[in-house]
Structure formats: C-alpha cells, structure tokens
Amino acid sequence: MADHGKVMFFLGAAVILAFGWVVFPYVIYKPVNQPIQFSHFTHTSDNVGLKCENCHTFDKDGRFDGIPKIEKCRSCHLKPLGISGDEEKLERNYINPGLEIPWVIYSKQPQNVFFSHATHVKLAGIDCQTCHFGQAYTRSLRPAYFSRISGYSIDIFGKDLLDFPSTPSSGMRMADCSSCHHRQGVKESCIDCHK
C-alpha cells in the first residue's frame, strides 16, 4: 500500500521533471524567421571582402547605425549580382519599392539598456567578433527566439534557462557585460548601461 503511494509520488516527480527540463525550454521561446536569407559570409569572404564597418557605420556624433538601411543595399544591388533567390526577393520586395527590410535583430537589447558601440569599438578597440561571435561568417540566418513572457531574445538571455551561475559569453546579459568589465578593470555604475 505504502510503496504504491511511493510509486505515485515518484511518478509525479518524474513527469514534472521531464516536462520542466525537456519540453518547457521549447514552449517558452517563440521562433521568428527573418524576412529574407542573408549571408554575411558571401559579403565578407575574399571575393567581396567587405569589412563590418563598411555596412555597420557610425554617425559623426558617435551613434551606431546598426543594421544598414535599404539605401545601403541598393548602392550595390541595383541590378542582380548573383543568382540566389533571396537576392531576387531583395530586389523585388524591398529595393524596387524602396521599403526597409523588417530585420529581426538577434541581439536586440530591451529599451532600458544603453550600449555605446563607439566607446567599445573605437575607444577600447574591441573586435566586433568578440561579442558578435561568428556573426560575420554566417551563411544563412537562423530564426531568432524570443521569450513568450518577457519578449527577450535568447541571444541576450543566454540559452541556459537558469542564468545562475552566470556563465559569461553564453549571451549578452548584464552578467556578461559586467564580468568583462571587471576583467578589464572598468569601474561601472548602474546608469552606465541603464537608461
């Protein structure tokens, strides 16, 4: 009788554990596909040989422009340069009508976060790849994952569900920023990164 109860007890535990560790991570994130497939690799590899700063530019007042506007694409893609379907899509849907591409940004920080690319890239001379690891050589764009509750991108948050203990560089969380700051001996205060 009693062990029958025990069985039930552990059954319940097992079921919930399985759900929590296996199913839950998939339930909580919502995948969002990119409007068109873009290959960083094609643009950065030797035959085109673009550098990051060729497209991801700065204003003279130090603002980072982020993902380039369609103008930038047009400047090269006025007429097809390749044969990929996505390039054709680019021409048809965006360049010709002159619409902006509704990119989904993987590393989209929430509104309350301030980050200056200028100080990190120009002043500290940090290589883009240091934080956007491997981005420059991706051949296609995987879907972005956003939390269904908070709307945070998984690339910010880190993939591990419990961000404790915080493992650096698994994402772009506060912990990741500050652990690097500490390593570099950067004195930081809350308002340095929160607006």
Task: Point out which residues bind another protein (CB under 8 A).
Answer: 4-6, 8-17, 19-21, 24-25, 28, 58-63, 65, 110-112, 114, 116, 118-119, 122-127, 129-130, 133-134, 147, 149-152, 161-163, 168-169, 180, 184-187, 189-192, 194-195
- To another protein, the closest distance from the beta carbon of 45 in angstroms equals 19
- To another protein, the closest distance from the beta carbon of 185 in angstroms equals 5
Q: Which is nearer to another protein, 80 or 129 (CB)?
A: 129
Q: Which is nearer to another protein, 41 or 114 (CB)?
A: 114
Peptide bond into 165 cis (omega under 30): yes
Q: Which is nearer to another protein, 58 or 103 (CB)?
A: 58
- To another protein, the closest distance from the beta carbon of 25 in angstroms equals 8
- To another protein, the closest distance from the beta carbon of 118 in angstroms equals 4
Q: Which is nearer to another protein, 62 or 82 (CB)?
A: 62
What gap in Å lies between CA 67 and CA 143, rounded to an integer?
Answer: 17
- To another protein, the closest distance from the beta carbon of 55 in angstroms equals 15
What gap in Å lies between CA 32 and CA 154, rounded to an integer?
Answer: 11
- To another protein, the closest distance from the beta carbon of 84 in angstroms equals 29
Distances (CA, A) of 102 to 33, 34, 106, 122, 172: 11, 8, 13, 28, 22
Residue type at position 17: L
Of 173, 166, 132, which is closest to residue 152 (Cα–Cα)?
Answer: 173
Q: Which is nearer to another protein, 85 or 110 (CB)?
A: 110
Strand partners of residue 153: 146
Q: Which is nearer to another protein, 36 or 158 (CB)?
A: 158
